[in-house]
Chains A and B, each alone.
Chain A
Amino acid sequence: MAHHVLATPVTEAQVRALRINDTVTLEGTLFGIRDANQIALFDKGRETRFDLRGHAAMHTAPNVRRVEPSVEHPTGYAPMCVGTTTSARMERFTRPLLEKQGVRLIVGKGGLGAGSLAAFAERGGAYLAVIGGTAALETTWVEAIEDVDMDDLHPESLWKFRVRGFGPLLVAMDSHGGSLYAEVETRARANRDSALSRLGVVK
């Protein structure tokens, strides 16, 4: 259970070194992706001017404040509350995110499925779990909004955050077929019958 401090972008070798139950702290750039911008990118053929190759992308749509554009806030947006959302809704976008955009790390909550796990193994990717519903804390790890694209989809724009000490995040799915969610689900489903018998339910 190693701890890794990763400055983005990362290499395939760095991602392949991650194993489930390891922890990661991200430094540098973190992109924010979401339902609407991935539908636009992968279903509607829109392009982004961002280069996501080797980067980490978090499932998020943040609360932001409008401010006067400045060196600190070049987009005219300041981060107010940045957290994560349920990743499972965006399951089918994992493969194109890795293959077309070159993303290496996905940050989210609740986990992704078998299709994503296969894509992580083939392409060299991993899923880093951040604790859902703890956005106030995560916001303290976000220094600034460096850039924003596809802002017509606001708040589901494509966000480019500058982060510092973003973590620890738990490696919950790795590039070697390991998934904490699959392990937990298998165990939980195996407990179903005993839970029902405890409730007096006769099969």
Chain B
Amino acid sequence: MKVDLRQVEDAARELYVRALKVLPPDIKEGLARVSRTESDSTAKSVLGTMIRNIAVAEQTDNLLCQDTGIPIYSVTIGRGVEVDGVSLKAAIRSGCERATQEHSLRSSVVHPITRKNEQTSCGPGVPPIHIDFSDHPDELVIEMVPKGSGSENNSWLRMAIPAEGVGAIKTFVIDCVLDAGGKTCPPTIVGVGVGGTSDLCVALAKRAATRALGSACADAEGAKLERELTEAVNTLGVGPQGLGGDTTAFAVHVEIAATHITMNPVAVNMQCHSARRASATFTPRGVAYGF
């Protein structure tokens, strides 16, 4: 399959706008679920407002949240797909700029030292474009996440040591959730990276935070850890918006990688209740949009 780069540019533009306007069904179901189980009256009212906002955004064709985030694109290239990598990245960047300018999106991206905003949502190294490969024949998937700063500003890495064991990982996650309080716009998806190198560990945490609700870690030990941690963080009482309640996180998601014999790294990255993402799948039949 040969990929049309004009379609890629259009999809990169479309994905940013779609992600900002319509939440994936698993997140909507997650909000409906916690709103049924929440026992605190303030928390119930906060969750009700979040649900109402989703409906208003769809009715008024508006953005769910003012924070357009840092746009992140992840491309997965299947077998037999013909595409020039450099041109693919350029097309995605161009689509991201066009989304910002053609849809009057707030450019939330600045140079890290001068703080200059190019009003394009782009800058050095941004949008990050991750490339990976799959064994699906004739398929290219682009996933897009506008990562809000309220949750992203609460990101942590700890290079624990083997003598501290898995207890260090659990303690770290609990302490991160306490430190985040209401700043991350809870209920959140708490993404936890376990193992790898420092950079891989942080990337795993981000992948975990942006996974669909209801999905599980592919590793059995990781899946067990996410069940235990999901239960434990929801006993803390931070609650929606940090105003108290039973619902602190929709879920804790864990992603793992092997690590060095001397290392025990753990990273946490959170996703806010407006857990936005969108995807486009290119096949010989055309482009299909989803979440």
Contact = CB atoms under 8 A, between A and B. Distances in A.
Interface of A: 21, 36, 60-66, 80-86, 88-89, 109-111, 129, 131-137, 139-140, 154-155, 170, 172, 180-181, 183-185, 187-189, 191-192, 194-196, 198-202
A133 B171 contact: no
Contacts, number: 175
Contacts of B67: 83, 85, 133
Interface stretch (B58-66, B196-204, B261-269): B58-66
Interface in B89-129: 104-108, 115, 117, 119
Nearest to B174: A195
B163 to A, nearest CB: 13
A63 B237 contact: no
Contacts of B153: 86, 89
B37 to A, nearest CB: 18
B237 A136 contact: no
B159 interface: no
User: What size tier do the contact residues of chain B reach?
Assistant: 35 or more
Q: Is the interface of A mostly helix, strand, loop or mixed?
A: mixed
A184 B104 contact: no
Interface of B: 42, 46, 49-50, 52-53, 56-57, 60, 62-68, 104-108, 115, 117, 119, 148-150, 153, 167, 170-171, 174-175, 178, 181-185, 228-229, 231-233, 235-239, 241-244, 272-274
B125 to A, nearest CB: 21
10 contacts: A66-B104, A85-B150, A129-B241, A132-B150, A136-B53, A137-B49, A184-B243, A192-B178, A198-B232, A201-B167
